Structure 1
Amino acid sequence: MNNYIFDSHVHSNNSFDAKDSVKELCEWAVKNEIQGFCITDHLDINDCDEVMERSIIKSHEETREASEIYGDKLKLRVGIELGQPLQNQQLSERILREFPCDFIIGSMHNVKGEKDFYFMGKPDFQHRLEELLTKYYEEYYEMVKWGKFDVIGHITYPLRYIEGNFNIKVDMSKYNEIIFEMLKVAVDKNVGIEINVSGFRQPYGKQFPDFNHIKEYKDLGGEIVTIGSDSHNRFSLGQHFKEGKELLLEAGLNHYCEFENRKPKMISIL
């Protein structure tokens, strides 16, 4: 198996919940023979203000500066994780114009009018599970139809907390119809999916999304798949790529992608 690692989902300390600077991430990557990564700091549209926009400007400036320093040792790309874009579509459109990127992850962390799943407690999931997940995937489906991003981020994100933290089992078959339709729209719009391997280092214990979603995307003709650690510190940068590559091979894909100037480049796994 090819040992090449390009991590497409990495947060610097320009994200509110991350620890290490771009420079610290770069030094760790070079030391640990990671070939490249994209800084995808949070830009959650429902919480976006001047402070968050300044953080993204700083993130992009620091990434470009680091690319000048480490460019002969490391591929560095500029990106964002665009959260909940349809909760203010006009603002999302402006962000896309004013913040040129190599790569954009389209993510959903919360349903419109609700807290991020990260901040919800066990009673929320015990009493409102089906309501929350139905609304979540309905909004996600509309987001993919809008489709002005490169890959769909961590499609089963809520399970990180529902199953991983609170051990509440979710019957995902209830939501597979809309998820599969979402994947069909993604293939038609040339939008990819990510294998987010952060779950392997968390109580959840596996990747996002489920394997059957990866396989369905491939069977629908999808070819654009990235692997992301969703790292929030240098120690998890590039972790669990072996598991991500094995999942792709099992699904029938022998490559994953890195992005530059919003264009996917295939990386052979073999």
Structure 2
Amino acid sequence: MQTKILSDIHLHSSFSGDSETPMEAMIQAGIQKGLHHMCFTEHLDLDYPYHPEDFVDFSLDDDSYRQTFLTLRDKYQHQIELLFGIELGLQPHLKDAHSQLLKKHPFDFVIGSSHTARGEDPYYTSSFFQNRGEREAYTLYFTSILENLDAFSDIDTYGHIDYVVRYGPNRNKNYTYEMYGEVLDQILKTLIQKGIGMEVNSGGLKYGLGQPNPCEEIIRRYHQLGGKIITIGSDAHSPEYLAYEFPKISEILKSCGFTHYTIFRQRTPVFLPL
């Protein structure tokens, strides 16, 4: 019998600044889709750059988030396993603030993501790519991941490590693993050495890249280097993108040599068959 991926562990609700969907609506949609596990990973991006024309507040009312989650976990405990997570927008100077938050709440799962590089988000293309060629901008972004990992590594997986290509001038048209192989290998080896997983985020497919984030070449290279912890998330901010293109993600992972993917309970990895 073919195994399906029935766990989506990168999800957002209205507790995240860029979602308007109530948490309960996301849970009900997950149940309808037949998911066995859902992990909410609400955004916390401290010191996020201010853009007056399109600013999103990525602060988090963590106490309210926790209480709502617990109420809904109890309500739906016989229908689906709900896990409590967070997505930290990493920047080196935030390490102490992040450490304090992780001591405050018993998270099941912590994603570390780079939404900014040197204080700029590639989403704001006019500023991030201004006066930088595409290759320089992508290299800057990847280098910032190493800086983040050097400063703070109390995370379970690194989210969408080539997020930058969603917004590049040519997106992934000219982008290959080989072009950035030196810095990407440093990232992958650091993750493996520190026991941190790598996320496969189906948002890249939603954004029309034809690939998840990271791309298939990076997933294959992670496996070649000995990486074993693969987490899978849709990064859905609304119900229609829950478990988005997970059958394709499964095919990609198998083609790269993986037989299992990973969820986390109480910060402990649990391996499930693909």
Per the normalisation by structure 1, the TM-score is: 0.90
- Distance, in Å, in 1 between the alignment partners of 2:173 and 2:144 is 23
- AA aligned to 1:212 is E
**Number of the residue aligned with 1:199:** 204
Alignment map for 1:20-99 (pairs within 5 Å) = 20-47=21-48, 54-99=60-105
1:187 aligns with 2:192: yes
Alignment map for 1:252-263 (pairs within 5 Å) = 252-263=257-268
Provide, for residues 166-198 of structure 1, a one-character-per-residue CA deviation record: whole Å limited to 9, x for no partner: 676335533221111111111111110011011
Q: Secondary structure at the match of 2:82?
A: strand
1:8 aligns with 2:5: no
Shift of 1:110: 1.2
Q: Could you list the runs of 5+ residues in structure 1 that have no partner in the other structure?
A: none
Q: Could you list the runs of 5+ residues in structure 2 that have no partner in the other structure?
A: 50-56
**Number of the residue aligned with 1:109:** 115
* Larger proportion of helix: 1
Q: Secondary structure at the match of 2:27?
A: helix
- AA aligned to 1:233 is S
- Once the two structures are overlaid, the 10-residue window that deviates more, 155-164 or 31-40, is 155-164
- Two-structure CA RMSD over aligned residues (Å): 2.2
Shift of 1:65: 1.3
- Distance, in Å, in 2 between the alignment partners of 1:167 and 1:219 is 23
Q: Aligned pairs, how many?
A: 265
Runs of 4+ in 1 over 6 A off after TM superposition: none
**Number of the residue aligned with 1:153:** 159
Shift of 1:224: 0.6
Q: Secondary structure at the match of 1:46?
A: coil
- AA aligned to 1:68 is D
**Number of the residue aligned with 2:54:** none
Per the normalisation by structure 2, the TM-score is: 0.89
- Once the two structures are overlaid, the 10-residue window that deviates more, 130-139 or 72-81, is 130-139
The structure-2 alpha-carbon separation of the partners of 1:157 and 1:22, relative to structure 1 and needing over 3 Å to count, comes to same
Q: Secondary structure at the match of 1:68?
A: helix
**Number of the residue aligned with 2:53:** none
- AA aligned to 1:143 is N
- AA aligned to 2:229 is I
- Distance, in Å, in 2 between the alignment partners of 1:199 and 1:173 is 19
Shift of 1:143: 2.0
- Once the two structures are overlaid, the 10-residue window that deviates more, 254-263 or 134-143, is 134-143
Provide, for residues 5-63 of structure 1, a one-character-per-residue CA deviation record: whole Å limited to 9, x for no partner: 10010001111111211111111111221111100011113239xx8655232222222
Q: Which of 214, 217, 230 is residue 219 of structure 2 equivalent to?
A: 214
The structure-2 alpha-carbon separation of the partners of 1:174 and 1:4, relative to structure 1 and needing over 3 Å to count, comes to closer
- Distance, in Å, in 2 between the alignment partners of 1:231 and 1:217 is 24
Provide, for residues 134-155 of structure 1, a one-character-per-residue CA deviation record: whole Å limited to 9, x for no partner: 2221220122333210001001
- Once the two structures are overlaid, the 10-residue window that deviates more, 24-33 or 81-90, is 81-90
- Once the two structures are overlaid, the 10-residue window that deviates more, 88-97 or 232-241, is 88-97
Identity %: 28
